[in-house]
C-alpha cells in the first residue's frame, strides 16, 4: 500500500502539471488551486522542491535572469506525473466512498450532486 501524498506535495505537482514554473509562480498557482487555503512560504517551497527533485518527481527545467535575479524553473517528470495520477485516482476513490456514505446519511438524503455517479464495486 502506498503512502498518501501530503497536500503541499499534491498541490506543487498539480501546479507543475500545467508546465514549468519558477518558485513564485508555483506559490501563486498553489494558492489559486487551493482556493486560497494553502499559501506556501518560500522556505517551505524550496525545501519541498529539493525533496521532490531528489525523489525524481520534478526536475530543473531552465534558468533565466530577471531584473538581475536568477529564476530557476521546475518541471514535472514522468515519475512525478505518474505519482500525481495515482494520487488523483486514490483521492477519487475515497471521495466516491464518502459521497456514497453521505447519500445514506438521514439529514442529507442524497440531494447533493456530489452523491451522483458510479461507485466502486463492493463499496458501501
* Share of residues in the chain with pLDDT > 90 (%): 76
pLDDT value of position 101: 87
Compute, in degrees rounded to 10, the torsion defined by CA atoms 95, 92, 79, 12: -50
Predicted confidence (pLDDT) per residue in 63-113, tens digit = 999 999 999 999 999 999 999 999 999 999 999 999 988 888 777 655 555
Distances (CA, A) of 4 to 15, 22, 84: 18, 26, 11
Residue 53 confidence (pLDDT): 98
Q: How far apart are CA 114 and CA 84, in angstroms?
A: 23
pLDDT at 124: 46
pTM value?
0.82
For residues 60 and 91, give the distance between their C-alpha atoms in angstroms, rounded to a whole number.
Answer: 28
pLDDT band at residue 45 under the 50/70/90 scheme: very high
Once rounded to an integer, what is the mean pLDDT over residues 40-56? Answer: 96
DSSP 2: P
C-alpha span between 4 and 54 (Å, rounded): 18
Report which of residues 111 and 32 the model is more confident about: 32
3-state helix, strand, coil in the chain (%, to 5): 50, 15, 35
Averaged pLDDT, 34-51: 96
Average pLDDT on 23-34 reads: 96
Amino acid at each position: 500500500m502506498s503512502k498518501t501524498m501530503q497536500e503541499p506535495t499534491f498541490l506543487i505537482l498539480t501546479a507543475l502539471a500545467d508546465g514549468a514554473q519558477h518558485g513564485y509562480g508555483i506559490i501563486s498557482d498553489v494558492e489559486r488551486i487551493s482556493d486560497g487555503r494553502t499559501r506556501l512560504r518560500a522556505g517551505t517551497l524550496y525545501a519541498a522542491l529539493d525533496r521532490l527533485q531528489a525523489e525524481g518527481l520534478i526536475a530543473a527545467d531552465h534558468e533565466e535572469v530577471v531584473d538581475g535575479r536568477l529564476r530557476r524553473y521546475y518541471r514535472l517528470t514522468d515519475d512525478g506525473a505518474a505519482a500525481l495520477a495515482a494520487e488523483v485516482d486514490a483521492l477519487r476513490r475515497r471521495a466516491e466512498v464518502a459521497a456514497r456514505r453521505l447519500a445514506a446519511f438521514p439529514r442529507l438524503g442524497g440531494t447533493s450532486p456530489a452523491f451522483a455517479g458510479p461507485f466502486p464495486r463492493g463499496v458501501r
